Amino acid sequence: MRTLTLRPLPTRSLAIGVAAALAVSLAGCSGGSRNRADLPYVARDVGTLYSAAKQRLDQGRYKEAAALFDEVERQHPYSVWARRAQLMGAFSYYLSGDYTQAIQGAQRFLSVHPGNRDAPYAYYLVAMSYYEQISDVTRDQKITQQAQDSLGELMRRYPTSRYAADARLKLDLVRDHLAGKEMEIGRFYERRRQWLAATLRFRRVVDQYQTTTHTPEALLRLTEGYLALGVRNEAERSAAVLGANYPGTDWYSRAYKLMKDNPPATIAPLAPGQPVVATPVRAAVPGEATGAAPKADAPLPNTPTTTGGDAQAGVPAPGVSSPSPATTPIGG
């Protein structure tokens, strides 16, 4: 009687089969259009999950990588790899352009691990996510303000970190952008001759963003606005500050010419006993053409001129009486 002997399956074939099944499972659970909530819970070890997420990240499949990094945190929340997966997930969202998810992931990491050695990078990731969303000066600058606050927070907490130098450079660019927004609004008011509102915007640039590239123009615009408002002392002060700090610029040349073209009004001394009568004088608007005063011997407008005894049509010459309608015979 023949005895049947069961041979064990080769271990190599078994390993290949398990790996193939695991790869299919990962591919089905990490679709690019799915997020963390859509992934079905399939228990996997932390090493497999993290390696698969890192592989997707290296391949440029950032959405899939972010979902798998989130899965590491969900399945193994107390693992050492879970803490790192939080930051890697936020970084993957940042690379994919999903800045809202990147900010939320980095802030969640900071709330759970505020004293971690990677905390400076989390602050930097939040700031960069705001920075990448900055729009042009014609739009609302709320995101720009948030970028400024985040960069300032990073520099305040970690001034000697490896990210502080780049944060300092980007903070200067952000402040210049905010100053540009104030200048855009100020020019808008200036074009409509709303001088008070315009000077308030230009003054804010000089006071809050004086190290930006917009300060020279703001000082010139202040000179124009103060002259239009009739506040010559403030106009002279703005022009003097412009000349002291930016003497060789075109902005100072224009301010100097503006002050020269608008000299202070001279007041004649009063005779003894002469009453003081205030005469309202309208301030010259910068850029407005001023007409020359008529000469003393020039005829006034709408006044007919006569030469000798000749009279213009319909106007009698001097010494000739105008015929009365009552005494003029009709028909000659």
Question: Alpha-carbon distance 125 to 119, whole Å?
Answer: 10
Q: How many domains does the chain contain in total? A: 1
Q: What is the CATH number of the domain that holds 199?
A: 1.25.40.10
296-301: long-range contacts at Cβ-Cβ below 8 A with a sequence spacing of 24 or more?
none
* Mean of pLDDT values over 53-64: 95
pLDDT score of 267 more than 80: no
The token duo for 93 is 């969202």
* Mean of pLDDT values over 125-133: 97
In a domain, 206, yes or no: yes
Higher pLDDT, 4 or 34: 34
In a domain, 33, yes or no: no
DSSP string, 229-285: HT-HHHHHHHHHHHHHH-TTSHHHHHHHHHHHHSPPPP-PPPPTTPPP-----PPPP
* Mean of pLDDT values over 159-169: 95
Higher pLDDT, 221 or 330: 221
DSSP state of 287: T
In a domain, 222, yes or no: yes
pLDDT of residue 274: 75
How far, CA to CA in Å, does 80 sit from each of 52, 65, 77, 119?
17, 18, 8, 15
Measured in whole angstroms, the distance separating CA 74 from the mean position of its chain's CA atoms is: 39
What is the value of pTM for the model shown? 0.68
In a domain, 251, yes or no: yes
Q: Where are the beta strands (DSSP E) in the chain?
A: none
Instruction: For residue 310, give the 3-state DSSP assignment.
Output: strand
Predicted confidence (pLDDT) per residue in 193-226, tens digit? 999 999 999 999 999 999 999 999 999 999 999 9
Q: Quick one: CA dihedral 12, 17, 18, 23, positive or negative?
A: positive
Residues constituting the chain: 332
Residue 296's pLDDT band (cuts 50, 70, 90): very low
The residue range of the domain holding 240 is 193-263
Amino acid identity at 1:
M
Higher pLDDT, 159 or 46: 159
172 contacts 190 by C-beta, under 8 angstroms: no
The token duo for 297 is 């011997």
